Amino acid sequence: MPSIHSVNTPARIVKDMRHTTAPWVEGVARLGFAAKGLVYVLTGTLAARAAIGLSGGRVTDAHGTLATIPTLPMGRILLGLIAVGLFGYALWRGIAAIVDPEHRGTKPKAIGKRALDFAKALIHIGLALGAIRVLRGAGAHEGGASAKSWSAELLTHPGGVVILAAIGAALVVYALGQVHRAWKGEFLKKLDLGTTRLRTWVERTGRAGLLARSAVFALIGAFVIRAATHGNASEVRGPGAALRSVDDTFGVWALVAIAIGLAAYGVFEIFEAWFRRIRAE
């Protein structure tokens, strides 16, 4: 009869998975952070160029940015590397959600963070698949169209208005959470900065980036809430459309500020690829 220590309990299976992933998961995660950062740098740069009237600019979301990369020198090679990196980022987030290599536990707050990691994994799988579609010549579309589609479907079901409004409110709360992280400097906790001279720039890009992201998420959430209030899914906006609304509502320099902030967040993610403590044990 097997001993209790040899039985494949869920806890033991998870522990074994941690040891199995440990040798390679760190490299995958770092590649993923770098790829995500590069997409943000390009998205912010394109938006800033468009805002100030420079050629080649475009106010779009990550999917739209991916479609522009093949036009750059060696762009197809770069896009292929980004696709691999985005899959790596999705894999890391999936591992963080399911295997919990960072040992966050199973308390409600930890479960919420792990659920968010799982959602990020799904989002970045979608981005990686979008990059592959661009490489295959199929093109890419902004995420706003799919958001309107599922919102319209949701509104046809009982309670759909309430659920859609709750999603919008959750996005606004998430945006406020980004502001809190920026204000308190919580984004530095998982970085092993030591005495590096880059510490000031890591902190500055992180704060600016989180504030810019908070503005975008707050706008998206506000549009979703308005769509739920009016029962009109066409009022839902994705990140690209939300950015364009900044110019219409607050003026060109507000758009420039947010665009620079998004690019700064991309730089921070590249710093994170280098300095983040990634526990896989």
DSSP 87-114: HHHHHHHHHHHHT-TT---SSHHHHHHH
Which pLDDT score is estimated for 24? 73
Question: Is 1 domain-assigned?
Answer: no
| CA–CA dist 222, 170 (Å, integer) | 10
The residue ranges of the chain whose pLDDT is under 70 are 1-23, 139-144, 279-281
Question: Is 122 domain-assigned?
Answer: yes
Which pLDDT score is estimated for 252? 93
Report whether 130 contacts 66 (CB < 8 A).
yes
Report whether 204 contacts 181 (CB < 8 A).
no
**Structure-block tokens of residue 210:** 């989180």
| CA–CA dist 193, 187 (Å, integer) | 12
Question: Is 91 domain-assigned?
Answer: yes
| CA–CA dist 151, 253 (Å, integer) | 31
Question: Is 264 domain-assigned?
Answer: yes
Closest CA to 212 of 175, 240, 244: 175
Which pLDDT score is estimated for 141? 65
| CA–CA dist 62, 141 (Å, integer) | 10
Its pTM stands at 0.86
Question: Is 155 domain-assigned?
Answer: yes
**Structure-block tokens of residue 133:** 């579609």
How far from chain centre, in Å, is Cα 48? 20
Closest CA to 31 of 76, 102, 86: 86
- Using a 10 angstrom Cβ sphere, with 0-12 exposed, 13-18 middle and 19 or more buried, the burial of residue 179 is middle
Report whether 128 contacts 87 (CB < 8 A).
yes
Which pLDDT score is estimated for 104? 77
- Helix (H) or strand (E) run with residue 136 in it: none
Question: Is 5 domain-assigned?
Answer: no
Question: Is 280 domain-assigned?
Answer: no
Count: domains in the chain: 1
> Exposed e or buried b for every residue in 245-265, given b needs 16+ CB within 10 A?
bbbeeeeeeebbbbbbbbbbb
Question: Is 157 domain-assigned?
Answer: yes
Which pLDDT score is estimated for 13? 43
Annotate 6-30 with DSSP letters as a single string: TS--HHHHHHHHHHHHHHHHHHHHH
Task: Give the structural domain span for 85.
Answer: 10-275
